[in-house]
Amino acid sequence: MPKALPLLLMVIAFAVSSAWEVAAWGPRGDAMFFEVTDSPSQRLDRAVRWCMADPQLALPPADCTGRAPRMGSLNAGYSKLALWVAVDLERARSVPGALLLDIDYPSLDRVEVFDPARPGTVLAVLGDTLPFAAKTLSSRSLTVPIDIPEGRSTLWLRVESRASLTVPLALWRPSDFAVHERSGVALYAAYYGLVVGLALFYLLLAVGVRDLTFGFYSAYALALGLGLAARNGMGAQYLWPHAPALSQHSMWFGVVATIVLGSVVVIRFLNLRERGGWTLWGINVLVACSVLVALPGIFIQAEWAWPLLSVCMLGLCVTAVVASVSAVRRRVPAARPFLIAWAFLSVGVVGLALRNLGVLPTNFWTNSAIELGSSAELLMLALALAARFALLRDANQHAQSALLLMQRRALAASALAEQRLEQRVFERTGELEAANRSLRDSEARLRDMTARDGLTGLSNRAGLRTGLEAAITRWRLGGRPPAVLLLDLDGFKPVNDRHGHAVGDLVLVEIARRLQRAVNDGDEVARHGGDEFVVLMHDAGDAAGLEARVARVADALAEPITLEEFQGIVGASIGVAEVASAVESSESLLRRADMAMYQAKASGSGRWAYAPRLPG
């Protein structure tokens, strides 16, 4: 229960804020004028009347009697028509006339504000289709100074937008609005600092532990931040002030990328591909629907695209929560904080989607629901990923402990064998020569075992190091310069995931066999660990010859593998490094080859790249 308390508080906040607005506003008559006072801020939502009209209409319509909902700010949904908004105002002589009109919904495409003192005259044009420099005031929201005449007057606005036609209106004293604006920017700065900080941290962690789940989470956080920056005006103010078209494109791209990357995080974290079931099928269908819905919204400005995308987001959050509950029941590691994280995000998405669809009122809680929910979700998801990292670390420590135990047992067995051998020598001096010969043979086999990979029969890390240091030493004494090829299999992990480790071992054996056939006589092939192999060429030769030999290795691995249990292509990314420095060591040579391999992998599967030559 304590873990669910913040989530419960968010739900209660939505309900209480909506109920408060119903009680606070109450009914009003058509003849009511909004009394302008000298308050720091005044919300105009309850005084709004509105109507929809043809986009060709440039002047306020004669008949516009529709009223805003009794709860929240005006939300006219999605439409290609123009929204006309009127507010009947009444200002006493003692109230200053110079105020700021604030429309705190920066994603509106175009807003024309008419001068209440001069009916029919456009006072200002605002919207995210204009450069930020075109704004009357340097503000995240749509803000314009307005001089309200004494007595009664009518403030008209004409609004067009592909996004939700939400028009929250408020009058501010300039000094109080400046304080309000600074506070809002500070809150958004804290939010985006959290997003960028977590994204960078888990990107570095993904590189360090080589777990793509952390990398997908990093990209997911950045996509979420990009979409929200386009929605709340921070992107137009700080990221693309001179490219207003990016506001709309970034919002679409950010939302769709968040859906796709968030789905990948859910699938990988909860191991849904291994389990399958309707949740995996549902997530894939919702992701495909989101992408298909976004295309007409981007290219033909379909007004139905955003509502459908909101429905897809709702369905995806519900499916992710159900999958997380199932993972908790299956005792999937770190599934509980993952469930809490997605529950927070789901509350935020539900609040925003229902607000966009007109089910919930537009107020601070529903308009900021996605920021509040995603903040809590990112923090909880970070805890879940931290738990995943701890599991990876514990598994690595367990493997190291097991290896150390095996080494100790081997040493103990060797010591016992030596004791027995000495006893036999002491008791049977006549068998001394035979016993010594047997001991030498045993030591040779032990050295060979410690330098060989048990699965493929190739040299292991220790054997590779010995051969590489010997080759470098010969080169220093005037021999031919060696080169190494470090290969990382591109499609091996799915083989293990889908067919099991037994089939994966057969594939590794086949890869080793192909490498031994593809290299020249005298070259050594070693298994560097996992799905990495190293080819040691004792004579690198000229550039053209080396290129041909690398290509022969790559072609050998690109051929389809046909086994009883598996058929497919694995392929490899190859990094090539040549000895070129008097201070070159085996570690630095392998490190440069590893860097070149990652450069090749970034270019696509089956590629190779050369490490830069060091000065001699």
Q: Where does the pLDDT of residue 216 fall: very low under 50, low under 70, confident under 90, or very high at 90 and above?
A: confident
Neighbours of 243 (CB within 10 A): 14
Query: Mean pLDDT throughout 412-423?
Result: 72
The pLDDT value recorded for residue 399 is: 61
User: What residue has token string 């209106």?
Assistant: 169
Of 30-44, 67-81, 584-598, minimum mean pLDDT range: 67-81
As given in the structure block, the two tokens for residue 594 are 């590893």
Would the pLDDT of 19 be above 50? no
As given in the structure block, the two tokens for residue 129 are 């289709």
The pLDDT value recorded for residue 243 is: 82
Of 263-272, 367-376, 527-536, minimum mean pLDDT range: 367-376
Would the pLDDT of 13 be above 80? no
Q: Where does the pLDDT of residue 552 fall: very low under 50, low under 70, confident under 90, or very high at 90 and above?
A: very high
The pLDDT value recorded for residue 568 is: 83
Of 147-161, 222-236, 514-528, minimum mean pLDDT range: 222-236
Question: In 3D, which of 251, 240, 249, 247 has the Cα closest to residue 133?
Answer: 240
Most confident range, picked from 260-264, 365-369, 522-526, 560-564: 522-526
Would the pLDDT of 595 be above 90? yes
Going from the C-alpha of 598 to that of each of 218, 318, 525, the distances in angstroms are 19, 38, 20
For the residues of 510-528, what is the DSSP string, one character each? HHHHHHHHHSPTT-EEEEE
Question: In 3D, which of 496, 437, 483, 504 has the Cα closest to residue 613?
Answer: 483
Pairing of strands 151-160, 110-114: antiparallel
Radius of gyration of the chain (CA): 34
The pLDDT value recorded for residue 433 is: 66
The pLDDT value recorded for residue 27 is: 35
Environment class of residue 62 by beta-carbon count within 10 Å: exposed (0-12), middle (13-18) or buried (19+)? exposed
More confident position, 304 or 597: 597
- Mean pLDDT in the chain? 80
Residues 232-245: tens digit of each pLDDT = 788 888 888 888 77
The pLDDT value recorded for residue 356 is: 65
Query: Mean pLDDT throughout 361-376?
Result: 71
Question: In 3D, which of 592, 596, 545 has the Cα closest to residue 575?
Answer: 596
Would the pLDDT of 201 be above 60? yes
Q: Where does the pLDDT of residue 2 fall: very low under 50, low under 70, confident under 90, or very high at 90 and above?
A: very low
Q: How far apart are CA 173 and CA 154, in angstroms?
A: 19
Query: Mean pLDDT throughout 307-326?
Result: 82
Q: Count CA atoms closer than 13 A to 532's CA, side-chain side.
A: 17
Q: pTM here?
A: 0.55
Would the pLDDT of 225 be above 60? yes
Neighbours of 583 (CB within 10 A): 7
Torsion of CA 322, 327, 328, 332, to 10 degrees: -160
Residues 418-462: tens digit of each pLDDT = 777 777 767 776 565 655 665 566 565 666 667 788 888 888 888
Element holding 144 (H helix, E strand)? strand 142-147
Of 143-152, 388-397, 516-525, minimum mean pLDDT range: 388-397
Query: Mean pLDDT throughout 552-567?
Result: 86
For the structural domain made of 32-172, what CATH number should be given? 2.60.40.2380
Of 206-215, 336-345, 367-376, 582-591, minimum mean pLDDT range: 367-376
Instruction: Judge whether 275 and 287 are in contact, CB under 8 Å.
Output: no
Q: How far apart are CA 321 and CA 338, in angstroms?
A: 9
CATH number assigned to the domain with residue range 449-610, chosen from the 4 options 3.30.70.1350, 3.20.20.480, 3.40.50.300, 3.30.70.270? 3.30.70.270
Residues 78-129: tens digit of each pLDDT = 788 899 999 999 988 777 767 899 998 888 889 999 999 898 899 999 988 8
Task: State the angle between helix axes of 369-427 and 245-269 in degrees (0 to 180), rounded to the nearest 10.
Answer: 40
Q: Where does the pLDDT of residue 20 fall: very low under 50, low under 70, confident under 90, or very high at 90 and above?
A: very low
The pLDDT value recorded for residue 446 is: 60
Q: Give the active site residues.
A: 531
Query: Mean pLDDT throughout 7-14?
Result: 43
The pLDDT value recorded for residue 29 is: 36
Pairing of strands 48-53, 82-91: antiparallel
The pLDDT value recorded for residue 569 is: 86
Query: Mean pLDDT throughout 250-260?
Result: 83
Residues 507-549: tens digit of each pLDDT = 889 998 999 998 988 899 999 888 899 999 988 888 888 899 9
Q: Where does the pLDDT of residue 70 fall: very low under 50, low under 70, confident under 90, or very high at 90 and above?
A: low
The pLDDT value recorded for residue 598 is: 92
